[in-house]
Structure 1
Amino acid sequence: LLNAIEPGLGLRVNEVSSVTGKGKHTTTHLEMFSLNFGGDIVDTPGIREFGLWDVEDEDLALFFPEMRPLVGKCKFGLDCAHNEEPGCAIRKAVTAGEISPNRYQSYIRLLVDA
């Protein structure tokens, strides 16, 4: 998957198991890669799920750099969860195309799963 996202990485891959239909692990250590189109991705051995801990709901938007400048500028100030509240500056920015809808949906999924 990482080679498809960033072809220049040239990471070693293994065949798919005929028994499970899943790929066999080749990663032996945690490694972070910077992506040419922006952002970073972490390859982790054996990790199938990633979550956040010790992040309060009201702080979650601060972990999205494109949302950070808008935190506190909503109708309800710092009490806005940026989900369904009227006058939300972040939702307005999504509608205006200033924040990617995909990034906003990632934020909402993390907020709901927290």
Structure 2
Amino acid sequence: DLSTLDGTGLDAVRALVAGCTTLVAGNSGVGKSTLVGALEPGLALRTGSISESHRKGRHTTTFSAMYPLTGGGFLIDTPGIKGFGLIDIDDHELWHYFPEMMRIGAGCRFYNCTHTHEPGCVVREAVARGEVARSRYESYLKIRDEDDKYRK
């Protein structure tokens, strides 16, 4: 457990980052700067309040900054991430980046199978049998779906 509100777990995290250079990254408004400030009191980092409507933090950090740690090492606080896009990876090639799907995907009924809806898809069948982890397949589907949002 980790809480910047009551200090739970902060000593364990301090021990993990001592003497290291550690980058703190994650979605916007999740408390990265609050965590950095709690790990190294006195930094007086700008943080946002919790939104009443969304119950999440507000985007506050606008650039990356590196702070020295009293116990040695550095913490790098980064702006929040809204999403990732893929560059120069065609939708029909994305499955090549999932080795477990790549090994069996060539056996699909259609040469241009997207492994999303086609009948006789060996990848979807392998997922149903538990030979390909459902979580990995769902990651593949999510990347395909999200990537369309970021293409120009």
Using structure 2 for the length normalisation, give the TM-score.
0.49
Give how far 1:71 is off: 2.1
Select the residue among 80, 95, 100 that pairs with 2:133: 100
| Aligned-pair CA distance for 1:82 | 0.4
CA contact (8 A) 1:62 1:68 kept: yes
Tell me which of the two structures has the higher relative contact order, counting C-alpha pairs closer than 8 angstroms and 6 or more residues apart: 2
Is 1:90 aligned to residue 120 of structure 2?
no
Which residue is equivalent to 1:75?
A: 109
Say whether the 8 Å CA contact 1:73–1:89 is kept in structure 2. Answer: yes
SS in 2 for 1:57: coil
Q: Give the whole-Å Cα distance in 2 for the aligned partners of 1:44 and 1:88.
A: 44
Instruction: Give the equivalent residue in structure 2 for 1:62.
Output: 96
Q: Any idea what SS the aligned residue of 1:53 has?
A: coil
Q: Give aligned pairs, total.
A: 94
Task: Measure, in 2, the Cα distance between the counterparts of 1:101 and 1:73.
Answer: 19
User: What fraction of aligned residue pairs are identical, expressed as a percent?
Assistant: 32
The structure whose Rg is larger is 2
CA root-mean-square deviation? 3.2
Deviation for aligned residue 1:58 = 1.0
Q: Following TM superposition, by how much is the alpha carbon of 1:81 offset from its aligned partner in structure 2, in angstroms?
A: 0.6
Distance 2:129 2:82 in 1: 35
1:19 corresponds to which letter in structure 2?
A: S
Q: Deviations over 1:53-104 (max 9, x none)?
A: 111111010011111111221111x311101101101001101111111111
